[in-house]
Amino acid sequence: MDSQIQNICRLFKIPGRYDSYEEITVGNVNKTYKVNFLDKDGSKKSYVVQKLNTYVFRQPTQVMENIEKITEYIRSKKPNEPSLHFHHTLDKKTYVHDNTGFWRLFNFIPSFTCDVCDDLDMVCNAGEAFGEFQMLLSDFDASSLYETIPDFHNTVKRYETLEKDSKEDPCGRVKEVEKELEWLVSVKDKACRLTEMKNKGLLPLRVTHNDTKINNVLFDTKTKKALTVIDLDTVMPGLAGHDFGDAIRFAANFVEEDCKDCEKAGVNLNVFEAFTKGFISKTYNTLTENELSTLALSCFTLACELSTRFLDDYITGDRYFKILYPDHNLVRTRCQISLAKDMLKKMDSMEAIVNNYRRQYK
């Protein structure tokens, strides 16, 4: 591996003398390594080398084209602040694709990440980071990006797939999930409202991150301020509410998304408010009235959408999501449904929080 990584760095024209590498174990999709080089004066400079999982990302060159476009656009907007930069090979590509895999190399930013966080200031900072991502790319033509995962957040199609597969019942599991199916269908119109609004032109297409977990934000080791957003493999056209809703769905749940005691799932309004404050502080001048007025709804939408995906995977034999035990996807489904139900109960409070910060930053 050592010689392989050295060769990849050579292809990306990294100056200085190779020193060492270490594997970064955070992340479940790609293989990631921190690589250290020494300059002539002996000072150390580090880079990140990644081997992309081409089973997950079937069109890796399209993924990299999207990433290069938006990272360079962001760098042009804030040239003196930390941001991702992907290095080029001699033939001016941001990747190396050979018999060992699909490789890329980008700058290492000294920082830390966290999988979960109960520090509300850091949650607010994460909201600022994802809000700034939206703000910096608000005048970028989202239609110029590849849709690397077609219909990723098309809630209408997610429901259609679930209804089709539940009728076919390929694994004979539908009878045990009738209650879950019935509830999801009962809220279908509300859950699909964002997609319907997009189809009618009432919500604009934006550049969206599509994996807005707090562990995709780099934080300063001293100040705990957010530095930049990372893990851009799923960047593509979408709705601002998709990013906001998914961030809340993950960060503001009282429990992890596969908690077996699903009744404990629910939205923590303190976390919701902290993230909302940060997000709107950066986006109040760029999001439309329709986008702002549907932020709270987007959280419910994403919880329902993921419920349909987990449940469909369970019905069809657990082919998509990695499972650790036989009914893992069913546990995930029930946890997301409990979260969605709690969001419905608290929707007025969530909307009031959004409106408070809309007025505050207006």
Whole-angstrom distance, CA of residue 200 vs CA of residue 277 = 29
- In this prediction, residues 326-343 reach a mean pLDDT of 97
Would you state the pLDDT for residue 294? 98
Would you state the pLDDT for residue 198? 96
Asked whether the whole model's pTM tops 0.85, one would answer: yes
CATH pick for 120-361 out of 3.90.1200.10, 3.40.50.720, 3.90.1570.10, 3.40.50.300: 3.90.1200.10
Q: Name residues whose C-beta falls within 8 Å of residue 287's C-beta, 6 or more positions apart in sequence.
A: 134, 240
Contact 268, 253 (CB under 8 A): yes
Residue 305 has pLDDT above 80, yes or no: yes
What value does the mean pLDDT of the chain take? Answer: 95
Kindly report, residue by residue over 19-76, the tens digit of the pLDDT: 999 998 877 678 999 999 998 888 899 999 999 999 888 899 999 999 999 999 999 9
* Extents of the domains making up the chain: 2-107, 120-361
Whole-angstrom distance, CA of residue 24 vs CA of residue 302 = 30
Whole-angstrom distance, CA of residue 115 vs CA of residue 306 = 19
Residue reference for tokens 């991502």: 133
Q: Find the helix packing angle between 178-186 and 295-315, rounded to 10°.
A: 150
Kindly report, residue by residue over 193-232, the tens digit of the pLDDT: 999 999 999 999 999 999 999 999 999 999 999 999 999 9
Query: What's the length of the chain?
Result: 362
CATH pick for 2-107 out of 2.40.10.10, 3.55.40.10, 3.30.200.20, 3.40.47.10: 3.30.200.20
Q: Find the helix packing angle between 269-283 and 240-251, rounded to 10°.
A: 150
Whole-angstrom distance, CA of residue 268 vs CA of residue 248 = 9
- Tokens of residue 83, six digits: 């941001």
Would you state the pLDDT for residue 28? 66
Question: How far, in Å, are 98, 178, 280 from residue 132 at the CA level?
Answer: 36, 42, 9
- CA–CA–CA angle 305, 307, 313 (5° rounding): 105
- CA–CA–CA angle 13, 16, 18 (5° rounding): 90
